[in-house]
């Protein structure tokens, strides 16, 4: 049987002329397909020479750069398991991930080496390398003397390729285990469904430590042999300026909101673009409509998650599975993708009728095999017939369009990042003088939703909302910090004594109204 290593599939999609440009950076640096091939071979050879076990975890917390992309490709190529970590995570968060995943190799920014390496070595990591966003660091120094030819490790479709940490309702992060087959099958489906064509050019402006930027965007472009225009950080002005040289853009809703605020966004700027894709959080219908009016383009919204990669998508072209419908409908996440099974069930576990709201469950070649070293959690989240319970709540209309109406999991999605109230509440509750706290998500014009904390002090406790926020900032990733913190005497409760978060959300819903 042929090698089912995802890297091999990506490599096979490289254009025959390897001197074509694969990635171009804002600084004007151009990397050819040959550069990606040779550089990933060198890093893979470095890994091969380390004497670490096959299928080792390689944990990576580095700024976005083309070398970070090469590190991802090299990890696949060498047959190891890529474990990307948000650059905003601080030491307590990193300590948990590294302790849980026990990576053989950790790659971090040079500026963080001082605190990351003790955490890693304590957890049994054998090698800590540095990689900076200016093409320096010990990883590249060590790889420089390696051969630039490398035979990809033989991997089966169900061998692990990546672990993505995602939190649960308890606030404790779980590593979603994704295989080479999960990633490749989803990428191949999307290549077809989104009509990738020769000559497509992707503007890549998302972080590369989550599903959207790492898998959907990178695999999409690479499987099509398409060039990427690489933005290390999203800047609306620069993205708009690059549109005349590109055809595809992918973003979370906040990116669209920010581009709409720029007067340079007009029909002329987008004239060459073929497709705008949005996801990771709900795209407001106002944003969808304003984009249509301003640019003449209809954003294609899709839905997915770390455990499953992409699940549904609005159609790019007429979909024969759904009576040839081709309309991209705002406020919906479109149709179930080919090869994916999706169902909506009521509280009794019975299938919902058309337009009836229930819990979304999914099955398919894209769905992960389980949570890293958490068999009980895995068992809880799957049904007996193999469907994964997404924790999202939605409905399917008579035409087959799916709408997400909410979540059964207590989760805030802020600017496309997930924030778990239970995790933040845990940190606040541990502060001296705090009796109890509740964190809820409220609407925000830029981030879609942001967290707000409501805290009850202990008797005689002296608390100040700003101080609580300052303490949290020193411990947690910045996007998790509640934007406001109120100290109050009591929280609304139901007769069972449970905090009524819906009432808190209602009370604070206009805090950030624009
Ligand atoms: C930054 N800040 C945020 C935030 N991002 N606050 C809430 N939510 C966010 N998402 C805050 C910082 O804490 C800081 O606050 C201030 O904003 C400026 O920080 P910054 O780093 O300069 O922000 P900026 O560069 O403007 O980042 C905003 C952003 C970024 C929208 C570009 O958040 C982003 O790239 N989001 C995309 C996330 C993503 O890729 N999600 C995909 C998940 S995959 P202060 O107070 O310190 O100044 C997934 C599955 C699927 O969900 O379906 O795709
Ligand atoms: P993550 O754990 O980061 O992979 O986040 C996945 C979650 O993001 C899903 O379970 C959904 O709740 C949400 N999500 C992703 N895409 C969309 C979308 N288009 N509309 C609404 N919610 C979405």
Q: Which of 162, 179, 49, 154 is nearest to 103 (CA)?
A: 162
The SS3 call for residue 187 is helix
**CATH number of the domain bearing residue 162:** 3.40.50.980
CATH of the domain at 468: 3.30.300.30
In a domain, 334, yes or no: no
| Last residue of one domain, picked from the residues 200, 215, 233 | 233
Q: Which atom of ligand 2 is nearest to the CA of 407?
A: 12
* Integer Cα distance of 275 and 292 in angstroms: 12
Rounded to whole angstroms, the Cα distance separating 506 from 455 reads 17
Q: Which tokens hold the place of 220?
A: 């999409």
Nearest CA, atom 15, ligand 1: 478
User: Which residue out of 478, 482, 483 has the highest number of ligand 1 atoms within 8 Å of its CB and is therefore the one to mutate?
Assistant: 478
The answer to whether the CB of 306 is under 6 A from ligand 2 is: yes
Q: Which domain holds residue 228?
A: 6-12+22-233
Pocket test for ligand 2, best of 413, 416, 477 (most atoms within 8 A of CB): 413
CB of 166 closer than 6 angstroms to any ligand 2 atom: yes
Q: Report yes or no on 206 lying in a domain.
A: yes
Q: Does residue 61 sit in helix, strand or coil?
A: strand
Ligand 2 proximity of 333 Cβ (cutoff 6 Å):
yes
Residue 368 maps to a domain:
no
Q: CA-to-CA distance for 256 and 294, rounded, in angstroms?
A: 12
Q: Is 291 in the pocket of ligand 2 (CB under 6 A)?
A: no
Task: For residue 168, report the distance from its CA to the centre of ligand 2, in Å.
Answer: 13
CA of residue 139 to ligand 2 center, whole Å: 34
Boundary of a domain, candidates 182, 202, 233: 233
pLDDT at 36: 98
- Tell me if 309 CB under 6 Å of ligand 2: no
Q: Spell out which residues line ligand 1, taking CB within 6 angstroms.
A: 206-207, 210-213, 233-234, 252, 254, 279-280, 304-305, 414-417, 447, 450, 478-479
In a domain, 438, yes or no: yes
What are the tens digits of pLDDT across the range 104-135? 999 999 999 999 999 999 999 999 999 999 99
Q: Write out the two tokens for 445.
A: 């014009």
Question: To 5 degrees, how large is the angle CA 21–CA 65–CA 240?
Answer: 70
Which of 204, 233, 262 is a domain's end point? 233
In a domain, 347, yes or no: no
Which backbone phi and psi does 241 adopt, to 5 degrees? -65, -30
Nearest bound ligand to the CA of residue 252: 1
261 domain-assigned = no
∠ CA 330-336-337, nearest 5°, is 110
Distance 254 CA to ligand 1 centre (A): 9
Nearest CA to ligand 1 atom 38: 416
Distance 266 CA to ligand 2 centre (A): 29
- Would you say how long the chain is, in residues? 514
281 CA to middle of ligand 2, Å?
A: 5
Cα of 413 vs centre of ligand 1, distance in Å, is 10
pLDDT tens digits for range 151-201: 999 999 999 999 999 975 555 799 999 999 999 999 999 999 999 999 999
Top mutation candidate among 207, 415, 443, 484 for ligand 1, by most atoms within 8 Å of CB: 415
Which residue has a Cα nearest atom 5 of ligand 2? 305
Residue nearest to atom 7 of ligand 2 (CA): 305
pLDDT of residue 168: 56
Q: Please name the residue whose Cα sits nearest to atom 8 of ligand 2.
A: 280
Q: What is the C-alpha separation between 187 and 178, in angstroms, rounded?
A: 13
Under 8 Å CB-to-CB from 205, ≥6 apart: which residues?
A: 231, 233, 234, 235, 239, 249, 251, 255
Q: What are phi and psi of 27, to 5 degrees?
A: -80, 0
> Is residue 419 one of the residues assigned to a domain?
yes
CA 419 to ligand 1: nearest atom: 8
Distance 343 CA to ligand 1 centre (A): 31
Residues of the chain predicted below pLDDT 50: none
What's the gap in Å between 2 CA and the centre of ligand 2? 34
Q: Classify residue 407: in a domain, yes or no.
A: no
Q: Is 449 in the pocket of ligand 2 (CB under 6 A)?
A: no
Number of structural domains (the chain) is: 2
Residue 207 backbone dihedrals phi, psi, to 5 degrees? -65, 155
Ligand lying nearest the CA atom of residue 420 = 2
Ligand 1 center–CA 479 separation, angstroms: 6
The token duo for 189 is: 């489906």
């Amino acid at each position: 049987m042929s090698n089912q290593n995802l890297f091999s599939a990506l490599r096979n999609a490289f254009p025959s002329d390897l001197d074509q440009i694969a990635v171009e950076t804002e600084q004007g640096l151009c990397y050819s397909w040959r550069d990606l091939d040779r550089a990933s071979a060198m890093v893979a050879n470095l890994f091969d020479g380390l004497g670490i076990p096959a299928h080792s975890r390689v944990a990576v917390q580095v700024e976005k750069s083309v070398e970070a992309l090469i590190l991802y490709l090299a990890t696949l190529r060498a047959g190891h398991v890529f474990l990307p970590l948000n650059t905003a995570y601080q030491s307590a968060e990193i300590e948990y991930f590294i302790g849980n995943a026990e990576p053989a190799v950790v790659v971090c920014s040079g500026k963080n080496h001082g605190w990351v390496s003790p955490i890693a070595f304590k957890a049994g990591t054998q090698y800590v390398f540095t990689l900076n966003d200016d093409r320096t660091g010990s990883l590249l120094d060590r790889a420089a003397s390696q051969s630039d030819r490398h035979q990809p490790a033989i991997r089966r479709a169900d061998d692990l390729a990546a672990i993505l940490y995602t939190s649960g309702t308890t606030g404790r992060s779980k590593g979603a285990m994704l295989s080479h087959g999960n990633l490749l099958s989803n990428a191949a489906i999307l290549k077809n469904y989104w009509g990738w064509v020769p000559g497509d050019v992707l503007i890549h402006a998302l972080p590369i430590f989550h599903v959207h930027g790492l898998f959907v965007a990178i695999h999409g472009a690479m499987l099509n042999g398409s060039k990427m225009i690489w933005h290390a950080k999203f800047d609306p002005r620069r993205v708009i300026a690059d549109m005349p040289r590109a055809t595809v853009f992918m973003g979370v809703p906040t990116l669209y909101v920010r581009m709409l605020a720029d007067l340079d966004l007009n029909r002329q700027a987008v004239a060459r673009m073929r497709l705008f894709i949005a996801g990771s959080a709900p795209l407001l219908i106002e944003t969808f409509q304003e984009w249509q009016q301003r640019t003449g383009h209809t954003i294609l919204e899709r839905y997915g998650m770390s455990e499953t990669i992409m699940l549904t998508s609005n159609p790019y072209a007429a979909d024969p599975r759904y009576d040839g419908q081709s309309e991209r409908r705002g406020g919906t996440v479109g149709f179930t993708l080919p090869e994916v099974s999706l169902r909506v069930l009521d509280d009794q576990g019975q299938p919902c009728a058309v337009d009836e709201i229930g819990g979304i469950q999914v099955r398919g070649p894209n769905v992960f095999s389980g949570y890293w070293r958490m068999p009980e959690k895995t068992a809880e989240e799957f049904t007996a017939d193999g469907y994964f319970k997404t924790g999202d709540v939605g409905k399917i209309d008579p035409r087959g369009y799916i709408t997400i109406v909410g979540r059964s999991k207590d989760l805030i999605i802020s600017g496309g990042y997930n924030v778990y109230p239970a995790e933040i509440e845990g940190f606040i509750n541990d502060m001296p003088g705090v009796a109890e706290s509740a964190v809820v998500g409220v609407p925000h014009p830029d981030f879609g939703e942001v967290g707000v904390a409501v805290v009850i002090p202990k008797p005689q406790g002296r608390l100040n909302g700003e101080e609580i926020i300052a303490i949290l900032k020193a411990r947690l990733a910045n996007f998790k910090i509640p934007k406001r913190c109120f100290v109050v005497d009591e929280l609304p409760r139901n007769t069972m004594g449970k905090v009524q978060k819906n009432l808190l959300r209602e009370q604070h819903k206009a805090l950030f109204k624009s």
